[in-house]
Structures are given as C-alpha cells and as structure tokens.
Amino acid sequence: MEYTIVVAETADSPATLQYLAPYTGAALAEYFMYRERHTLIIYDDLSKQAQAYRQMSLLLRRPPGHEAYPGDVFYLHSRLLERAAKSSSQLGEGSMTAFDTQSGDVSAYIPTNVISITDGQIFLSTNLFNAGIRPAINVGISVSRVGSAAQIKAMKQVTVVIFPDRN
C-alpha cells in the first residue's frame, strides 16, 4: 500500500463529488502513467457515478433518457474508460480498469453499457466465494473479446484439442 492512492466518495457524499471521483482517480493514474509508472485504477461501481450524474442532470432540468439517465451517460463512461491505456515505451506503461456491477445484476442499464465498452469482463460471485472457491470467478458469464490473442501457444493447442469446433 506504499504506492496506493484511494479516491473515494461515500453514498452520503454530494452527487457532484460522487460524479467527479472517477475523473479524479483517472487524472491521478494518468499523472503516474506518463511518468513511466505502472498504474491500476479500479472503478468500484460506475452505476453509482451514473446515478449521481442523473441526479445532477435532473436538477439542471436536462431532458431524461432511458431510466431517467441523461442521453450522454454512455458517452460519459466510454470517455472515462478509454483513458485507461497502455502507452508506448517513451510514455510509460498501461492502466487496467475494473468495475463492480450493482448487486450482481449484469443486465441493468449501466452495467450493460459498460460491458459493451470494455474488452472483457471478469465477474466475481459472492456465492462461489462463500463456498470456498477462490478466485470466485463466475466463468459462465465472464468474457474476453481478445480471446485467444491473449493466450500463449501451448494454451491455444490445448483449447483446439478440447474444443475443436471453436477453432
């Protein structure tokens, strides 16, 4: 934890601070990323940030969209998540993004938007964790868009033997 920065806003924080917290975290990660440091940024539930944004937008009398969220909430999250990157060697190294869905509901509006933006998702299960299975990854709904491109050659060969129709 020596090199750890935590940016957190609680549920009782003003909506404006809940909205700004992910941007503050991203700015801090970028600062270190561009100074040739490895950074990890974890967004714990972007749906909470979207709810804060919805609250601010409704107070500003902006027209509501789906589930009363502003129409640009998808754009808002895509811009935030696209800030995570792997820079060239001259600019430093990358950043990784993770998020926790609201109460495990991956079919809600905000989690499905975030899923469509990212290259892959690892879903953790409280039930698996409580059953003593660690890491508690729900492999049934966890996905990767990069798939075999991230696998070593030996793993690809084993996969072809086990699943010949998925070559």
* 81 shares its domain with 158: no
* 27 shares its domain with 81: yes
CB crowding 104-121: b at 16 or more within 10 Å, else e: eeeeebbbebbbeebeeb
107-121 confidence digits (pLDDT tens): 888 888 888 887 777
* 95 shares its domain with 34: yes
Structural domain range at position 154: 120-167
1-31 confidence digits (pLDDT tens): 788 999 999 999 999 999 999 999 999 988 8
Residue 16: closest CA among 45, 51, 67: 51
> Global pTM?
0.74
Is-catalytic flag, 145?
yes
Contacts for 20 with CB less than 8 Å, ≥ 6 apart:
none
**Active-site position among 37, 61, 145, 166:** 145
Residue ranges of the chain with pLDDT lower than 50?
A: none
pLDDT of residue 143: 75
